Structure 1
Amino acid sequence: MSVRLIVRTFSELCITIGALIVLFVVYVLFWTGVKAAGATDGQIDALQREWAQGTVSAPAPAPSASSSSGSPEPGAKPPAAAAYRDGKPFAMLYIPRFGKSWEWPVLENTEVKTLQKGLGHYSGTARAGATGNFAVAGHRRTYGDPFKDFPKLRPGDPVLLTDGTTWFTYRIDKKPYRTVPSDVGVIDPVPRKSGFDGPGRYLTLTTCDPEWGSSHRLIAWAHLDATQPVTDGRPAALHS
């Protein structure tokens, strides 16, 4: 085999590999976002139809003024409600810190295919607004980059959730906490390392870290600060 043929073959191989790398980057940076946008819009449309038909399950009770920190009233019991449907959307989440147009559907479970359509609720954690820990996972990058700006969260930031009947306003308690994937205590009913010292109405957000990796997790904890029926309009925190 001549040197010229070897050089030409090597050059063609490099070009092929380069083209594959470019296609992969385009897929990761662009095409997953396109797919996520279509899938997310579909989930939002499904939610809007469901809410318009009045098929939303009963919400959890609102905390009183004396329990604004998220602590339940003594002896209070949440009403029985139908379980969230596996893989289906049931709520919308809004985080003003991430921009006025930031809104994502929340679906039941955190499977790979579910997180390609929106945010995922950890099955087995509390219902929206209920006593316990309502825990949600989302991609940091790819599939729409929902939690790209996760490190920007700060104490006091509102995180708003609606299930079609009620608005739940949670407040972030501290800057994001970095841990490892095996640290499942972060989604306990009273999440470990959160600083919460007893039962309450909490929310946990989780995503991958570093930005383009998954060796660690970033965690943000919040407590339920206020509730209001959707008939009263959108909460003030969405207009600030």
Structure 2
Amino acid sequence: MATEHPAKARAPHRRPFQVATGVLGDLMFTTGVLLALLVAYSLWWTDVTVARHTGVAAEHLRQRWSAAAPAAPPTGTADTAVPPRFEADDGIGFLHVPAMGVGYQVLIKIGTGEDTLAEGVAGAYTNPYSSAMPWEPQGNFALAAHRDGHGAKFHDLDVLKPGDPLVVETRDRWYVYRVDATLPKTSKHDTGVIAPVPTGSPYTVPGRYITLTTCTPVYTSLYRMAVWGSLVREQPVDPDRTPPPELRKEDPSNG
């Protein structure tokens, strides 16, 4: 008499529902892995491409500065030359933040639209408040930049603490600010943080301020964080573009 093969006897019978569930689970896992890889690749690739683009844009701006006629010699602490006017997407200068790395700088442009920030720059707000330029007698120079992807220029913004220097470089002058306060998290709809006298900041009267904003936590856009600083001093750019002491300290070769 024929007997059933032992392996066949032990093989469990899988119902159609169990088979479908297993296949669906495999598909979901594979899809999740592919999406994670796609996100990681997208963030990395945008950083690579943006670094190339902003490097070229920064070099072009410095070349324009070199080709331009020298500014009139400043008298006292104020510029005697007529302040420059900028249009949307114009390059203003560079933001230097020693606490965010040796040689850290980011190109500053007008505007915070997605197309502008995707270039890997710090954008000066034009809405709902129009940023005051550093050379203006009072106001808030408010900037935004991506924290992840597209250069991730403000990825390490959370390392800043009161007392840290922030330096804005323009064609003719250096503007040195000091961090006074930080706001780790607020609503992304909280526009008061970039007001002329920022809401929640330690400031109560008009002055010459700077505000840096970006998304938080990392890899999300759920909230916003802000860093506030006030102008300490300004100084003219010499022919050699010698940086102020706050930036020379970050380079060991400069003592």
TM-score by length of 1: 0.82
Q: Please tell me whether the aligned partners of residues 71 and 81 of structure 2 are also in contact (alpha carbons under 8 angstroms).
A: no
Residue 198 of structure 2 is matched in structure 1 by 191
1:129 equivalent among 105, 126, 135:
135
Query: Which amino acid letter does the alignment assign opposite residue 49 of structure 1?
Result: Q
Looking at structure 1, the residues matched to 91 and 175 of structure 2 have their Cα atoms a distance apart, in angstroms, of 17
Partners of 2:83 and 2:135 within 8 A in 1: no
Give the Å deviation of 1:122. Answer: 0.7
Q: Distance in 2 between matches of 1:210 and 1:32?
A: 19
Partner of 2:248: 239
Could you say which residue in structure 2 is the equivalent of 1:67?
A: none
Q: Hey, what's the Cα distance between the residues in 2 that align with 1:162 and 1:110?
A: 19
How far off its partner does 1:19 sit?
6.2
Distance 1:159 1:196 in 2: 17
CA RMSD in angstroms comes to 3.1
Contact 2:181 2:202 (C-alpha < 8 Å) held by counterparts: no
Return the letter of the residue paired with 1:220. V
Residues 82-120 of structure 1 show CA distances to partners (whole Å, capped at 9, x for unaligned) of: 431211222111100001121110011001111122111
Q: For the residues of structure 2 that align with 1:55 and 1:134, how far apart are their CA atoms?
A: 26
Q: Does residue 160 of structure 1 match 2:151?
A: no
Give the secondary-structure state (helix, strand or coil) at the position aligned to 1:176.
Answer: strand
Q: How does 1:4-43 map to 2 (within 5 A)?
A: 13=27, 17-18=31-32, 20-43=34-57
SS of equivalent to 2:232: strand
Any conservation in 2 of the 1:171–1:223 contact (CA below 8 Å)? Answer: yes
Q: Structure 2: state its 5+ residue gaps.
A: 1-15, 250-255
Q: Any idea what the Cα deviations from partners look like across 1:122-175, whole Å, max 9, x if unmatched?
A: 122101232100000011111122111111111110000111110000000023
| 190 and 142 in structure 1: CA distance in 2 versus 1, 3 angstrom threshold | same
Q: 4+ runs of 1 displaced by more than 6 Å?
A: 5-9, 55-58
The residue identity in structure 1 corresponding to 2:225 is: L
Q: Measure the CA separation in 2 of the matches of 1:62 and 1:8.
A: 77
| 3-state SS of 1:51 partner | helix
| Number of residue pairs matched by the alignment | 228
Counterpart mapping for 1:195-234 below 5 A: 195-231=202-238, 233-234=242-243
Higher RCO by CA contacts (8 Å cutoff, separation 6 or greater): 1
The aligned amino acid for 2:44 is F
Q: Which of the pair has more CA radius of gyration?
A: 2
8 A Cα contact 2:188 2:223, kept in partner: yes
CA contact (8 A) 2:158 2:184 kept: no
Runs of 5+ unmatched residues, structure 1: 65-76
Of residues 223-232 and 154-163 in structure 1, the stretch that sits farther from structure 2 once superposed is 223-232
In 2 relative to 1, CA 38–172 (structure 1 residues): closer, same or farther, beyond 3 Å? same
Taking the aligned partners of 1:78 and 1:216, their CA distance within structure 2 comes to 42
